Amino acid sequence: MQLILLAAGMGNRLPKYLRKDPKCMVKINNKCVIEYLEEFTKKFKNKTIITGYKSYKLKEIIKKLNLNEIRNNHYKKTNMVYSMFRAKNILKKEIVICYTDIIFDPKIYLQLSKKKNQNIMPINKNWLNVWKGRMSKKMILKDAENLTVNNNYITSIGEKISKKLPKYQFMGIIKIKYKDYFKLKKYFLKLKNNRIDFTSFINKAIKNKIIKVKSSITTRYWYEIDNIKDKKFVEKSL
């Protein structure tokens, strides 16, 4: 498997004083978020980071984690999906796409590597216990995304919640088959929407039968850092 880390974003929900660096460099207990992914990245021989906003500040971390770098120079006008397809020329096998504003148990790798030639999405069953520490119930309904599963396959993801909370949440990690990556790329170009967010894109691809994605349920630890409250919560939790 190849690893693609998505790190082009500006972190617009973070306060200004934290936006002096790329979002993945937010410090959690004096350690950058992306540095918490080191053990996970070590499991891959072929690993690439897609950079954008203030990419020059990531030079030392890129060297430390032994990453290849591809830049998304259009990061202001695009989103994660566009960044993902910047890797099109270096792919040789199935890939793992991973956000870089998350901290999670590196043993998630086992769930991705066990099943060959399948699209796999780890989904977290313990998400609500964590999110209760991040925000109020009202905000959970607003911020969380719906995710449904049928016969172990993802049937919808990224849609807004009405009243009933979902059993699972997307963790920001997905394994995609080599051939399906290029199916998705073709579909992305057809949509003509460079700003579409990641889960909305995957949702459309699933519903339009471009790809099938198998779920892999976990209760392993997982934190997401989107704002200053998340930062403080994760610092207390780790």
Domain CATH code at residue 73: 3.90.550.10
Q: Rounded CA gap, 25 and 100, in Å?
A: 9
What average pLDDT does range 128-133 have in this prediction?
Answer: 94
The pLDDT value given to residue 164: 87
The pLDDT value given to residue 100: 98
pLDDT at 17 over 80: no
Question: In the chain, how many domains are there?
Answer: 1
Q: By C-alpha distance, which of 85, 113, 107, 135 is closest to 40? A: 107
User: In terms of residue numbers, what domain contains 190?
Assistant: 2-237
* pTM for this model (two decimals): 0.96
Cβ count within 10 A of residue 47? 20
The pLDDT value given to residue 12: 82
